Structures are given as C-alpha cells and as structure tokens.
Structure 1
Amino acid sequence: MTSTLADPVKKWIAYSVIAGVVALIGSLGPWVVVSAGIFGGVSVNGTQGDGVITLFLALLTIAAAIVYLLKPGKLSWLPWGLIGAGAVTTLIAIITFSKMSSLGGMMSVGAGWGLFAVLLAGLATAGLGALAMMASRAAKAPTAPPAAG
C-alpha cells in the first residue's frame, strides 16, 4: 500500500485521536449531577465509577492511533480496535444514563457534561474505526482492468 492510498485511513485515524481526547476529558468530568433543592447539590465525576474504564479506553485509543500515524505499517488491527473501544465506551455511557432514570424522588438527578462528551466520543470512535476500515479495504481492493474497446 503506497502512502497516497494510506492517506484516507490516516485521516480517520487522526480524527480518532481527537475523539479519544474528548473521551478522556469527559471521563474526568461530571457524569451525574444531583440537586437536593435548598440542601444544595453534588456532582459525581466519571472516575468515581465506570469512567475509569472509559478513561483507560481513551488513553489506549490515543496511544494506538499515534503509533499508527507514526508507523502506518504497524497496528493493522487498529480500525477494529477503534470500533470495539468506541462500542464499549458508548455502552458504558448508555448504561449510566439508564441508571439515572431509576434515581429521583425528592432529588433532581441529571447527566453531567462529561457523560454527554463520553457518549459522543464513543460513537465517534466507533464510527471513525468503521470509516478507517472501509478506507483500508478500498485501498487494498484490486482495480479492474481497462475495458477492451
């Protein structure tokens, strides 16, 4: 595969670094915000729960993508890894959202910006992995011979 053909793959992998940074920041941010009226409120950061997993996946995504960009022949499995990391990150965010709906009563419970960031970054990471895989397959596909005329 020549460097010209690798450019579309590199583009999607480079964008996955950005998605990884968003997931990293979101993992450190507030995931759940609880308000108890006149008694005040509290927020729970992602790293106080499953955000530790999304933080690890974000760091792994960033590191693997950077290695791929520096040495394109390495880590040919990376698009599949991005899809998996993005899917797990998205699933963790969705599960956290579903747990919030079961809380409530006298308190107001809502999602923090960190959880929204993790959800969007997980979806983006999985999607970018799929785009990188499609670009890689297109670059490897044999070209049809010219038609005889």
Structure 2
Amino acid sequence: MQFTSTPRGARLARRLASHRLDDWGHPYTSTTNETLTLITAELAANAVRHGHVPGRDFRLRLLRTSTALRVEVTDTRTERRPTTAPTHTPPSPGDESGRGLFLVSQLADRFGCEPRTGGAPGKTVWAELDVPSSPRRPTSPTTHPDPISRISKMI
C-alpha cells in the first residue's frame, strides 16, 4: 500500500501493519505484533525523514511465510541508503538521530537495503522476524523477548 511521505502516512503504515498482523493470527498484544509494528514504525519514519522526495509517496509491503514475517518500505530516494552492516553500533548519547536503524538491527532477525525493483529510482529497506510456524489466538509465545524490555536494556 502507498502512503503519503508525511508523519501521518508513517503513522497509518504502522497501524496497517499492526492490524494485518492481528488478522494473520498475531494479536495486538503479542510480542510478534509489537515487535514488527515497532520495526515498521522505524522504517516508515526513516522513509518520511530521509527518503522523502517532494510529490512522491512511500510504499509498505508485508509478507508472511511459514517461518518469517517481512516488512518492506520503499521510497524514491536513491542516494540516501542506510547502513545495514551487522555490526551497526549504537548512537552516542548526544546524537540527535541514528537510533531507529539501531533498534531495527537489534529487534529484527535480518534486515537490509536493496535497489527498488523495476528500474525505478529509490530503495527498499526490509526487515524480517522469525516466527513460529502456526500462531495461536489469543496470545502466542515467541522466542523474541518483549521489545520494550529489549530497548530499555540497550539504552
């Protein structure tokens, strides 16, 4: 789905991801839903802040397989590619930005960046989260700790 490259668009993308995960059997309060929703929020916010081209939208794509959930955020800015090295280091306490991809690197099982498909300008930043093969309702324990407690340990 396409969203306007605005804070409102990023917020709507985050909400869509949470709703879709709930539809797929990962309830709103599950760790899987909370973690992937936070990852989506960070990637969408980066698309708005760093990938914005006036008059161009960003695109959110959610995919699921039997073993993983994947979120992809595509924007039209080619020259601003994020660093996705596995050794992504935390920002210094005085830094005003740079925490978003660090959080994604800590919460996702895998993430990366690739050129936009079809020859169009831009890039796709993606993240994957491994999940149990069959989610259950109303809650489903996962191997991922609570994202809020993971973040608080990083700070």
Q: Please say which structure displays the higher CA radius of gyration.
A: 1
Q: TM-score, normalised by structure 1?
A: 0.31
Q: Which has the higher helix share?
A: 1
- Which one scores higher on RCO, CA 8 angstroms, separation ≥ 6? 1
